[in-house]
Amino acid sequence: MAAIYERVALIGLGLIASSMSHAMRAKGLAAEITGHARSAETRRIAAEIGLCDRVYETAAEAVQGADLVVLCVPVGAMGEVAAEIAPHLRPGATLTDVGSVKQAVIEAVGPHVPEGVHFIPGHPLAGTEHSGPRSGFATLFENRWCLLVPVEGTAPEAVARLRRLWEEMGSNVEEMDAAHHDLVLAVTSHTPHLIAYTMVGVADDLRRVTDSEVIKYSAAGFRDFTRIAASDPTMWRDVFLTNKEATLEILGRFTEELFALQRAIRTGDGAHLHEYFTRTRAIRRGIIEAGQDTAAPDFGRIKVGS
């Protein structure tokens, strides 16, 4: 396949950027890939494993001549990075990001985008609990959704080109407005992560259960909470600080549901519990039917040593 973009600049070289690099290389979607990371160690590793054709010490150098620039840094750092690269963006280039909050990114990055540059915020709904330049793999985006949030007045052909890139990397692509995106993600990602962090924290606080017991007897439920809670702390700090309203709204709903379940348990209302669990089980089946997870035992995970 002919390259969709001649030169792609990846700013931030963690899981998403490294997976994009592997996917673009595997399918010949970019003629050249440049990169930058703030950490010298990350830059060294990226160069060592050939993640990019060239790795630069500054973001400004990395974006020069690129027709696609992808911001893969924590949401809280995007405004600063956008200010640094703005004078060096090529006219006609597309600037996008992979942050899991969109309104805050538009507010932070938008004012720095020069005339003639297409700003198309994006969010691939894919990831693992791992981070860093070695964590990426070419199939991360396959049959996962990527949401694009074009700002008003964006050229349709620029959106279509970016959509094609994500589709060729394996994603299902949909467009969405920023406010709705942030509410949807508060439900499907942000609040579940906060609950996971809380549950692991509660286990740590319950001194009647020793640390060794928590680790030794971790059944699937708690084990999966720890997997989610192992995610990058900087990224998640920024997510909650920048998607405050939507997350607090969903946390309020969660608290109401939790109180109702507490009442049902306290009063022995088995009918309420059974009806509630039946309804939530149907949601799980819907996720499997949509191809977003597997019904295989142990969620189809590969065992260590297998």
Q: Quick one: 154 and 246 in the same domain?
A: no
Query: Of 126, 131, 128, which Cα lies nearest the Cα of 301?
Result: 128
What CATH code is carried by the domain that includes residue 56?
A: 3.40.50.720
pLDDT digit string, tens, across residues 180-234: 999 999 988 888 888 888 877 777 666 555 666 666 666 667 777 777 777 778 8
Q: What is the dihedral of CA 17, 20, 246, 111, to 10 degrees?
A: 70
Could you list the pLDDT tens digit for every one of the 306 residues in the chain?
Answer: 689 999 999 999 999 999 999 999 999 999 999 999 999 999 999 999 999 999 999 999 999 999 999 999 999 999 999 999 999 999 999 999 999 999 999 999 999 999 999 999 999 999 877 889 999 999 999 999 999 999 989 999 999 999 999 999 999 999 999 999 999 999 888 888 888 888 777 776 665 556 666 666 666 677 777 777 777 788 889 888 998 999 999 899 889 999 999 999 999 999 999 998 888 888 778 777 777 776 665 544 544 443
Examine residue 286 and state whether it is found in any structural domain, yes or no.
no
Q: How many domains is the chain partitioned into structurally?
A: 2
- pLDDT value of residue 220: 62
Query: Of 61, 80, 59, which Cα lies nearest the Cα of 70?
Result: 59
Give DSSP secondary structure letters for the chain: ---SEEEEEEES-SHHHHHHHHHHHHHT-EEEEEEE-SSHHHHHHHHHTT-SSEEESSHHHHHTT-SEEEE-S-GGGHHHHHHHHGGGPPTT-EEEE--S--HHHHHHHGGGPPTT-EE--EEE----S--STTS--TTTTTT-EEEE-PPTT--HHHHHHHHHHHHHTT-EEEE--HHHHHHHHIIIIIHHHHHHHHHHHHHHH-TTS-HHHHHHT--HHHHHHHHHHTS-HHHHHHHHHHSHHHHHHHHHHHHHHHHHHHHHHHHT-HHHHHHHHHHHHHHHHHHHHTTSS--SGGGGPPPTT-
What CATH code is carried by the domain that includes residue 222?
A: 1.10.3660.10
- pLDDT value of residue 302: 47
- The domain boundary residue, chosen from 159, 176, 193: 176
pLDDT digit string, tens, across residues 238-264: 888 998 999 999 899 889 999 999 999
Domain that holds residue 212: 180-268
Examine residue 163 and state whether it is found in any structural domain, yes or no.
yes
**Whole-prediction pTM value?**
0.81
Q: Quick one: 187 and 100 in the same domain?
A: no
- pLDDT value of residue 300: 46
Examine residue 42 and state whether it is found in any structural domain, yes or no.
yes
- The domain boundary residue, chosen from 151, 176, 201: 176
- pLDDT value of residue 198: 84
- pLDDT value of residue 148: 98
